[in-house]
Chains A and B, each alone.
Chain A
Amino acid sequence: MKTIQTEVPEQLYKKALALVKEGWFRDEKDVFTEAIRRFLDTHRPELMEKFIRDDVEWGLHGHD
């Protein structure tokens, strides 16, 4: 595991803490790890590149 230090908005932190207090996560570290994992899942480089290439194709050769 890698330890990082960062700043997050107060409201975001409070929301993470609330999830922990309600018992959904063991601690806030788990909340942020899960959040980053989900972000990385949906921001895979090949996927973002595909979106841009699709856009260019539509831009150049679309039929609208």
Chain B
Amino acid sequence: MTKSALKIVCDSGPIIHLDELNCLHLLEDFQEALIADAVQKEVKRYRPLSLSKLNMPFVFSPGNVPNDTRLLTLCHIFSLDAGEMEALSLMERHPQAIFLTDDASARMVAEQLGFRVHGTIGILVRSIRRNQMEPGEVLRILRGVPSQSTLYIKPSLLDEVILKIKKEYNL
């Protein structure tokens, strides 16, 4: 399957979580994965080797605070950190991109501004539709989320996600 035409702007969470789950390669499906300075620093602190992997569409961008006053205000109200602010600043410049974050506050701000936002779970599930992984493999990885990653998801909700995938693919 050819690459998706989509660009993504990454917050640190999904990169860290996908790397913990050995699934960072799923981002290869996107044209570009834009990473702001502060996000890069945060990822390097927790997963030093993740950003140096080959064939990844990472594009490193200088960190800027958002230009839009409304966005900047929302960032402060929701106490977003430097990485989230710089990532949202990139979204200002690439509004057609998808913002990847696992942070609820950052996601709220981004959705408030009309940006498309998804997280680690979305990328994992999407990999089936994009023929990157088999449903069974994704189910195995999802079951490992609590023990093999720092992504927190309520156990009953994770069970619901797993059940939904099983039903969807008659497993």
Give me the interface of A with B, judged by CB distance under 8 Å: 35, 38, 42-43, 45, 47-49, 51-52, 54-56, 58-62, 64
Contacts and interface: CB of A to CB of B under 8 A. Distances in A.
Size class of the B contact interface (CB-based, 8 Å): 20 to 34
B122 interface: yes
B48 to A, nearest CB: 21
Given A49-B157, A56-B164, A59-B125, 11 more contacts: A38-B79, A42-B78, A42-B104, A48-B104, A58-B118, A59-B121, A59-B127, A60-B125, A60-B128, A60-B165, A62-B129
B156 to A, nearest CB: 9
Interface in B119-171: 119, 121-129, 153-154, 157, 161, 164-165, 168
Interface of B: 4-6, 78-79, 98, 104-105, 107-108, 118-119, 121-129, 153-154, 157, 161, 164-165, 168
19 contacts: A38-B79, A42-B78, A42-B104, A42-B108, A43-B105, A47-B108, A48-B154, A51-B107, A52-B157, A54-B118, A55-B118, A56-B125, A56-B161, A56-B164, A58-B122, A59-B125, A59-B128, A61-B129, A62-B126
